[in-house]
Amino acid sequence: MDKTGIEKMLRPKSVAVIGASATPGKIGYTVIKNLLKDGYKGKIYPINQKESEILGLKCYPEIGQVPGEIDSAVMCVPAKVMAEVVEECGRKGVKGALVITSGFSEIGRKDLEDEVVRIARHYGMRILGPNIVGTLSNSEKFNGSFAPCLPLPGKNSLVTQSGALLIAMDMATYSRRIGYEKMISIGNMADVDFADLIEWFQDDEETSCVSLYIEGLRDGRRFIDVAKKSNKPIIALKSGVSAHGAAAAASHTGSLAGGAKVYSAAFKQAGVIQATDLDNLFYRGLTLSMQPPMKGDNFLIITNGGGNGVLATDAAERFGIPLKFAPDDVQAEMKKHMPEYGSAKNPVDMTGMAGNDWYYETVKFAIMNKWTDSVVVLYCETAITDPAEIAASIKRAVDDSGVKDKPITVSFVGGEKSDKAIGWMVENGIPAFFAPDTAVNAMAALREYAKLQENKKSDGAKTDEKAKKLALEVIAAARADGRTSLTEIEAKKVFELYGMPTTKIGLAKTEEEAVKLSKEIGYPIVMKIVSPDILHKSDAGGVKVNIKTEAEAREAYNTILKNAKAYKADANIHGIAVQEMAPWGTEVILGSVSDPSFGPTVMFGLGGIFVEVLKDVTFRVTPVSKAEAEEMVSEIRGAPILSGVRGEAPRDRKAIIETIIKYSSMIYDLMDEIAESDANPVLVYAQGEGLRVADARIILKKK
Amino acid sequence: MDKTGIEKMLRPKSVAVIGASATPGKIGYTVIKNLLKDGYKGKIYPINQKESEILGLKCYPEIGQVPGEIDSAVMCVPAKVMAEVVEECGRKGVKGALVITSGFSEIGRKDLEDEVVRIARHYGMRILGPNIVGTLSNSEKFNGSFAPCLPLPGKNSLVTQSGALLIAMDMATYSRRIGYEKMISIGNMADVDFADLIEWFQDDEETSCVSLYIEGLRDGRRFIDVAKKSNKPIIALKSGVSAHGAAAAASHTGSLAGGAKVYSAAFKQAGVIQATDLDNLFYRGLTLSMQPPMKGDNFLIITNGGGNGVLATDAAERFGIPLKFAPDDVQAEMKKHMPEYGSAKNPVDMTGMAGNDWYYETVKFAIMNKWTDSVVVLYCETAITDPAEIAASIKRAVDDSGVKDKPITVSFVGGEKSDKAIGWMVENGIPAFFAPDTAVNAMAALREYAKLQENKKSDGAKTDEKAKKLALEVIAAARADGRTSLTEIEAKKVFELYGMPTTKIGLAKTEEEAVKLSKEIGYPIVMKIVSPDILHKSDAGGVKVNIKTEAEAREAYNTILKNAKAYKADANIHGIAVQEMAPWGTEVILGSVSDPSFGPTVMFGLGGIFVEVLKDVTFRVTPVSKAEAEEMVSEIRGAPILSGVRGEAPRDRKAIIETIIKYSSMIYDLMDEIAESDANPVLVYAQGEGLRVADARIILKKK
């Protein structure tokens, strides 16, 4: 989409405030006051039909009467006249509008919102909002909002779906001493959404990290695509992770989906780092905005307090970057700057005797030596050291090392002096915090970023045009039959078309056909009723397994038919499926549901108790790349099962990964047709021996 | 133990500083300076052989020459003369000593430490330390330490095993504005340990919560006993939870134990609340020190920002206190204080329009109504409200409600004004924090406290004297045989003595005996080799199952014997165990290992993949009460298995609980004899049909 409108809106050279007011307390007054007070250098045109001047600025009755060009308009007029005003802006050539006004889709008036967007599109104008606080930019000194002040400056920019949080966080930048470059309230996202802003931020030199507070995404798929291409770290705090869980889902797979798991998977796929809470968003965002990614697994914790060091070590394990012992040569060097009873192992405990010089030497060596990928420096305030001097030593060590591609984070536990030192370090580009846990968590964010960057390189599955065409024919036939689900035979056909091996199956309409099919497939076989009216086949006595002879086949055929008729007299019976009885294998399941934000998703897990009792399943948004499929297979708790337990040979992991990718292609290609589907169970054999989809189910979308 | 010494040490009316110094920078100088500067009102006697006066106080060459009585001595003399000095103090009648000096067991000189304690005991004197920073008490204005100042006052007291953390946290009380009443450095715990101090704090009226920073406990069992009796909340931050994991453990059960899990279980059993990190210790301690427990599950979140409300809702689920919708009558009342588009459901969102009055009315009603057990109040700073006034409204609402037994916590997201309001609320008894997550986490601590109080009421298992006597005989016989493990037959005998049903088993020494036993037990049977030299019976071809006839029994007997001899020619073979082949049941396992801090522990889990792949096991320190056994059965991830899955009948849960208690008694009674043991598998049948220990193993302690 066109970025011009967003550029004009976020970096305007001139701005009109439509619905400007001379009455203090009114938003139309506050915006003008904020623009002036915070030093906006562009032209400001208040638009008001009654006033001739507001806060010393000349007023215009209509935007059309403003002499010069106008880049952006801040809208403070009531919702009911918004369409009209947007029309006027469009005619004037305004390319971006910040619609502060509320009273649109958030109270059920989506019609008003749609009208505004329709008009804006006509004029090639972009809309931020409606229902926003506005936007703030430190580099532009632009406070086009009713938030009280520009935030403390920083290199991190925030886009938030909660206006109240923007205002509160804006003020909190001063009390937390964690700055932001821009703060953008995104409101109802009638036009400009997260993806648009992420794209725009790619070229914003003032921003080195994009922080997001997300309640819900409309076009999750575009979000993933855009975020994946980002050359800057993106961190997201997703709220409402407990809400989706309540949504009742019809199918088995559906009941396990839950928005939170899908969002988490989508963020991973998009290369977006997650924040766990508001504090975490502040801390991690700050760190990502000022430090390089942590490119390997080795890091040193340097401390002057043993207790603190142990707490940080625990935290490292908790946050996924477990500590290792430093190699001997590193230990030997460390030993030079500590008393006899210190420890050079990692955490490096210089003891309470550590002063400025030891901190300087140790930190510098830690950064410069080959083994280390990053450094976490801890300091417990003591009576014999000065926090300001320790901070200066750390900074000097970093500078003198000359190393730019290894990150550092710091924790100072102490009083006012330590607090000041923390502030000083942050001002000087070193993320510093109170608790050791926070410093480690911040480092973990840099490690996550590096790992996510690696994963983003893997390509997604490709559309299989031929399979798609044939699958659509199978689906069309079922629809022609007035059905919204495929029979097992049809479903397996679709799976086969996408190259997934299924157990052999055929439909018998007579006893003789059943005998013939049984012979062709080969005993032992399984027979199952095929009827769109009988979904729970076993309950209806519609399944017989381990049929070994022709006599048994004949008996099974007749018994199943009789049972089915007894179960539901008027059932539409297609016949009886005669199916290969596959040898036993490890049961895994694949499933798919359509997420309201992200569209089709793939679920993978082990069968049986793993899925039923432990809900041990993992999700990805389609299409799933090879790297993602590999991750899925590795990240379930029951993963060791697939490596072979109790003397079993390892299962065919490669076949599983290939099948996930093929299944993902199927789901992706047919997303307009398939509402949900599963392969349950899929029987997986020993390495090299493949797998077999033993049962398949496809439910169609209602059309 | 005698509390007098501790009382004198922590609340001295007179104190001698032994090793007092006139040289600034020396600890013996700093302590005197701190006592004077921070306003200690008792008598201070510097002891120094050379000086006549230090900081205006008269010096004495020896403690024996001080005219008056001395309650406590602060020891700053070198380790090598400590014993001598303690002797002098003892003779003088000093009852408590704070031994600041280091250079004892922490550097391998346990001998020096033991000597000091030996002498102290002789004189009925208690020792805190050695290797401590000292102790600080706000109510006594006593800074008997080299920490720079008394902490910001509070009702919470800290005992810490890290001196560096004490100093840093002491200063941090001012920057964090979270106060402490006492801060005690516990050092090497040569004499006074955590349990002693917890006991002492019971009578300290100034302390309403005891906070602990623990690296390791020596006598974990006494800690549990004492903590269990505490009438004040105790919160512990345990560090080093990732370290124990590295300790290689010989047995299967052992490899799953891990100190962290045992500590966690022990804290639960002791009624001790856990903190996850340093910040959390501050926040939770503050809250526990000023608010009552949360006695039910219902709480309201009240907010002026939707986003904040959702974040708090997510946090509530994460921290184990999921939110429920408020009942209709509560919602109706809430509706009165919000605009049309607000939400009364819970979180109660009054929207950004909420001012002082709405906060006052809503909070007051929330506290007073019957349904609510607690209230979490959130506020996002806005341009139209004053944080100080909102804070005052909340405080007034709490006061006017007259309700004293329902807790409240608060979050203010905002700038300097909000920060000040947070400080004001804390000073006025309301725990207030920045992030909504923190306010919810703090409330969760109050809920945990209430739940732990309930659990503490349940009694532990009792010693079974008769079983113990007979079991010791079985063990004595094995020891007489030169063995350190029991055979399966012997182990099952011990389990049977403690009332646990085992599969029938007998030892056959000849083919004829095997046939006779098989007939008595009843076919089908299992045969296994019995030899202390063959631990892995299956590997040796020493197991035959499903033996159905006499002929098969004869063949099995001979085959097993032949295999065993082939496997290990010189094996000492006791004979062949003939065992009932128990019907299939759900496999669970019981195990026990001896923890270095807590002694014997019981492990419980489901068998098979649950233990082998998922490590889904839970621990308790013995003896295990009924309530604890119930918790164990409920808290494993695989718990639903026991309720019956896939149409199975529920398993006999009651039998499992009884067996855990009996097993716990056995382990507890025989703790001097048994190093580790397990019952694996235990076959559990349908409700009412009990269970059977199918295999049992007991390894004895080396003596």
Give the distance from residue A309's alpha carbon to the nearest chain B alpha carbon, in angstroms. Answer: 9
Contact B151, B175 (CB under 8 A): no
Nearest chain A residue (CA) to B177: A415
Instruction: Say yes or no: A437 contacts chain B, CB-CB below 8 A.
Output: yes
B 644-663 residues with CB below 8 A of A?
645-646
Is the pLDDT confidence value at A471 over 80? Answer: yes
Is the pLDDT confidence value at A245 over 60? Answer: no
pLDDT, one tens digit per residue, over A590-605 is 999 888 889 999 999 9
pLDDT, one tens digit per residue, over A217-238 is 889 999 999 999 999 999 999 9
Give the distance from residue B277's alpha carbon to the nearest chain A alpha carbon, in angstroms. Answer: 7
Instruction: Say yes or no: A192 contacts chain B, CB-CB below 8 A.
Output: no
Euclidean distance between CA atoms B316 and A379, whole angstroms = 33
Cα torsion through A150, A156, A158, A164, rounded to 10: -50
Give the distance from residue A654's alpha carbon to the nearest chain B alpha carbon, in angstroms. Answer: 21
* B416 with A147: Cβ contact below 8 A: no
**What is the model's pLDDT at position B535?**
75
**What is the model's pLDDT at position B244?**
30
Under DSSP, the state recorded for A415 is S
pTM for the model: 0.92
For residues B307-319, give the mean pLDDT. Answer: 91
The residue among B609, B599, B556 whose CA lies nearest residue B581 is B556
Copy the structure tokens of residue A698: 């496809």
Euclidean distance between CA atoms A673 and B364, whole angstroms = 54
**What is the model's pLDDT at position A250?**
29
* B437 with A277: Cβ contact below 8 A: yes
Euclidean distance between CA atoms A695 and B357, whole angstroms = 62
Q: Which of A161, A165, A215, A284 to mutate to test the interface with B (most CBs of B within 10 A)?
A: A165
Q: Which of A30, A34, A183, A278 to mutate to test the interface with B (most CBs of B within 10 A)?
A: A278
Give the distance from residue B472's alpha carbon to the nearest chain A alpha carbon, in angstroms. Answer: 35
**What is the model's pLDDT at position B2?**
65
Instruction: Calculate the average pLDDT of chain A.
Output: 92
Is the pLDDT confidence value at B141 over 90? Answer: yes
For residues B129-154, give the mean pLDDT. Answer: 96
Chain A positions touching B438 (Cβ under 8 A) are 279
Q: Which of B180, B242, B263 to mutate to test the interface with A (most CBs of A within 10 A)?
A: B242
pLDDT, one tens digit per residue, over B429-478 is 999 999 999 999 999 999 999 999 887 766 666 788 999 999 999 999 99
Instruction: Say yes or no: B343 contacts chain A, CB-CB below 8 A.
Output: no
> Confidence class of residue A461 from pLDDT cuts 50, 70 and 90?
low
> Confidence class of residue B140 from pLDDT cuts 50, 70 and 90?
very high
Is the pLDDT confidence value at B586 over 80? Answer: yes
Give the distance from residue B149's alpha carbon to the nearest chain A alpha carbon, in angstroms. Answer: 10
Percentage of chain A lying above the pLDDT 70 cut: 97
Nearest chain B residue (CA) to A349: B164
pLDDT, one tens digit per residue, over B381-430 is 998 899 999 999 999 999 999 999 999 999 999 999 999 999 999 999 99
Nearest chain B residue (CA) to A316: B242
Chain A positions touching B613 (Cβ under 8 A) are 637-638, 640-641, 645
Helix, strand, coil % over all residues of chain A, rounded to 5: 40, 20, 40
* Phi and psi torsions of A471, nearest 5°: -65, -40
Instruction: Say yes or no: B167 contacts chain A, CB-CB below 8 A.
Output: yes
Is the pLDDT confidence value at B309 over 80? Answer: yes
> Confidence class of residue A575 from pLDDT cuts 50, 70 and 90?
very high
Chain B positions touching A381 (Cβ under 8 A) are 167-168, 171-172
Euclidean distance between CA atoms B209 and B445, whole angstroms = 12
Sign of the C-alpha dihedral, residues A122, A123, A124, A127?
Answer: negative
Sign of the C-alpha dihedral, residues A284, A290, A294, A300?
Answer: negative
* B435 with A278: Cβ contact below 8 A: yes
Chain A positions touching B422 (Cβ under 8 A) are none
* A380 with B164: Cβ contact below 8 A: yes
Q: Where are the alpha helices (DSSP H) in A217-350?
A: 220-228, 252-257, 259-270, 278-290, 306-318, 328-335
pLDDT, one tens digit per residue, over A689-699 is 999 999 999 99
Instruction: Say yes or no: B311 contacts chain A, CB-CB below 8 A.
Output: yes
Range in A65-74, A537-546, A678-687, B145-154 with the lowest mean pLDDT = A537-546
* Pairing verdict, β B575-580 and B525-530: antiparallel
* B171 with A107: Cβ contact below 8 A: no
Per DSSP (E only), the strands in A306-449 are 348-349, 374-380, 408-413, 432-433
> Confidence class of residue A648 from pLDDT cuts 50, 70 and 90?
confident
Contact B47, B63 (CB under 8 A): yes
Is the pLDDT confidence value at B173 over 80? Answer: yes
B 276-305 residues with CB below 8 A of A?
277-279, 304-305
ipTM for the complex shown: 0.90
Q: Of A162, A174, A176, which has the smallest distance from its Cβ to B307's Cβ?
A: A162
For chains A and B, count residue pairs whose Cβ atoms are closer than 8 Å: 219
Nearest chain A residue (CA) to B342: A107
* A169 with B413: Cβ contact below 8 A: yes
Chain A positions touching B612 (Cβ under 8 A) are 645-646
Contact B652, B688 (CB under 8 A): yes
Length of chain B: 703
Copy the structure tokens of residue B535: 């631990």
* B382 with A167: Cβ contact below 8 A: yes
> Confidence class of residue A456 from pLDDT cuts 50, 70 and 90?
confident
Contact A502, A693 (CB under 8 A): yes
Chain B positions touching A646 (Cβ under 8 A) are 612
> Confidence class of residue A1 from pLDDT cuts 50, 70 and 90?
low
> Confidence class of residue B145 from pLDDT cuts 50, 70 and 90?
very high
Chain B positions touching A243 (Cβ under 8 A) are 310, 313
pLDDT, one tens digit per residue, over A249-300 is 223 334 444 578 889 999 999 999 999 999 999 999 999 999 999 999 999 9
Instruction: Say yes or no: B162 contacts chain A, CB-CB below 8 A.
Output: yes
Q: Of B162, B174, B419, which has the smallest distance from its Cβ to A416's Cβ?
A: B174
Instruction: Say yes or no: B108 contacts chain A, CB-CB below 8 A.
Output: no
Euclidean distance between CA atoms A434 and A218, whole angstroms = 37
Q: Compute the half-sphere exposure of residue A139: CA atoms within 13 Å on the CB side of its CA.
A: 14
For residues B620-647, give the mean pLDDT. Answer: 90
Contact A54, A34 (CB under 8 A): no
For residues A390-415, give the mean pLDDT. Answer: 97
Is the pLDDT confidence value at B121 over 50? Answer: yes
**What is the model's pLDDT at position A244?**
30
A 367-386 residues with CB below 8 A of B?
380-384
Nearest chain B residue (CA) to A318: B242
Give the distance from residue B239's alpha carbon to the nearest chain A alpha carbon, in angstroms. Answer: 6
Give the distance from residue A409's alpha carbon to the nearest chain B alpha carbon, in angstroms. Answer: 17
Give the distance from residue A314's alpha carbon to the nearest chain B alpha carbon, in angstroms. Answer: 5
Instruction: Say yes or no: B423 contacts chain A, CB-CB below 8 A.
Output: no
A 577-616 residues with CB below 8 A of B?
609, 612-614
